[in-house]
C-alpha cells in the first residue's frame, strides 16, 4: 500500500468517526472536498479492505476500530442505564447515581458534530442537538456505543 492510499484510508476512518455517513457517494464527495482524487469503486475497495460495514443504513467502523475510537466509552458503558428523546432536539441519557458527569465529559471530549452541548446532574444528562436529524445521528451513536 502506498503512502497516498494509507493517508486516504486514515481520512476515511476519521470521517466515519466524526459523523454518520449513509452512502458511498457522500463519502466520495467528502474525500474529494479534502483533495483526494477518488472514484466510487476506489472508495468501495477502501471500505472493504478497512473492514467497514453497513448497518442500519449507515457505515460502521470494524470492531477493532470501534474499540480504539471509543476511548472512555468502553469503561463508562457500564454506568449508562437508558436513553430517551425529549422533543426534536433534546436527548436524555440516564446513568447510575453519580456517573452522569463522567459520561457527559466523555461526550463533550468526543466533540461529535451532532452535539450542541450537554448538561449533567447526578444521574441524568441532557444532550442538546441543533435539529431532529442531528438527534437521530446522536441516538444511533449512543445506542451503538452503550448498547441501549
Domain with residues 71-146, CATH architecture = 2-Layer Sandwich (3.30)
Residue ranges of the domains in the chain? Answer: 3-67, 71-146
CATH number of 3-67: 1.10.10.10
Three state DSSP letters for 29-94: HHHHHCCCCCCHHHHHHHHHHHCCEEECCEEECCHHHHHHHHCCHHHHHHHEEEEEECCCCEEEEE
Is this prediction's pTM over 0.75? no
Confidence of residue 136 (pLDDT cuts 50, 70, 90): very high
Q: What is the pLDDT of residues 23-64, one digit of tens each?
A: 999 999 999 999 999 999 999 999 988 888 776 677 877 655
Amino acid at each position: 500500500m502506498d503512502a497516498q492510499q494509507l493517508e486516504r484510508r486514515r481520512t476515511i476512518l476519521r470521517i466515519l468517526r466524526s459523523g454518520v455517513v449513509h452512502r458511498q457517494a457522500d463519502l466520495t464527495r467528502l474525500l474529494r472536498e479534502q483533495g483526494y482524487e477518488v472514484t466510487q469503486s476506489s472508495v468501495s475497495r477502501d471500505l472493504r479492505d478497512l473492514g467497514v460495514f453497513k448497518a442500519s443504513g449507515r457505515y460502521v467502523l470494524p470492531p477493532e476500530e470501534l474499540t480504539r475510537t471509543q476511548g472512555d466509552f468502553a469503561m463508562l458503558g457500564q454506568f449508562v442505564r437508558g436513553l430517551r428523546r425529549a422533543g426534536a432536539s433534546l436527548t436524555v441519557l440516564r446513568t447510575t447515581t453519580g456517573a452522569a458527569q463522567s459520561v457527559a465529559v466523555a461526550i463533550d471530549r468526543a466533540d461529535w458534530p451532532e452535539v450542541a452541548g450537554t448538561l449533567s446532574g447526578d444521574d441524568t444528562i441532557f444532550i442538546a442537538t441543533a435539529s431532529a436529524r442531528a438527534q437521530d445521528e446522536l441516538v444511533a451513536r449512543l445506542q451503538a456505543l452503550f448498547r441501549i
